[in-house]
Structure 1
């Protein structure tokens, strides 16, 4: 049996995905696989101030989840990418604590990288869509 896949796109964010040829998220069954979200402004350029870039990445993530019928509380797995983890850790943890403020927290893997196409932070997640019976 093959599960149906549905591409998910948030409002007003199509140009970035079309330019690079990927979906913002794919919904398959009750799972939502969200592509890496960055702190891009409306024109697709990086937010220059790091903490604001992280906050904007979470805002962009929330918009994709909303388009998929999910909330931040539906996230079960998080992977983040950081260009300078040691220097960025405090700002990331501050934003993270505001977003994930209830237990159980999602599991989290952080990876240091040396390139994110002009960005310094990226977040991708897997969420479980809630079904109404």
Structure 2
């Protein structure tokens, strides 16, 4: 028997996007949360054109998915980011990261350069440990 629970953020507008593309925002299995790649999309699903704002939105979307599962950035144990132009983008990404995601000790992080993200320039996916219910 499968021990999986789909997690969706509270915003009902984003639910339609997940349904249209056929995936869950996150999947909880036991005490682990596997969050699908989050991009800097507006509520209608279109990319934010300003890169730094796109990264900020991606972190906000991630924060909302984590919150729907009872998690926060402090519960993240693994981060993977995807970048269309890593050399040119890393400074802006690190600037946003420091304001949104400044935990100690920091999570492990893998950055991958890619040439296509469906109109986006940054994507972040994570694995988090769901805090125990007390």
TM-score (norm 1): 0.96
Render the CA deviation track for 1:63-110: whole Å, top value 9, x for unaligned.
000001101110000000000000001000001111222311010000
Partners of 2:117 and 2:103 in 1: CA distance: 29
Q: Distance in 1 between matches of 2:114 and 2:133?
A: 39
- 1-structure distance, mates of 2:20, 2:109: 29
Q: State how many pairs are aligned.
A: 132
Q: Trace 1:1-133 onto structure 2 (pairs within 5 A).
A: 2-12=1-11, 13-133=14-134
- Distance, in Å, in 2 between the alignment partners of 1:23 and 1:101 is 26
Unaligned runs of 5+ in 2: none
The secondary structure found in structure 2 opposite 1:27 is: strand
TM-score, scaled to structure 2:
0.95
Helix, strand or coil for the counterpart of 1:79?
strand
Q: Measure the CA separation in 1 of the matches of 2:58 and 2:65.
A: 11
> Contact 2:79–2:125 at 8 Å: present in 1 too?
yes
Counterpart-to-counterpart distance in 2, 1:101 and 1:70:
15
Misfit runs of 4+, over 6 Å: none
Q: For 1:59, what is the secondary structure of its paired residue?
A: helix
Check conservation: 2:73, 2:103, Cα contact below 8 A.
no
Aligned-residue CA RMSD (Å): 1.0
Q: Structure 1: where are the runs of 5+ without partners? A: none
Q: CA deviation at 1:3?
A: 4.8
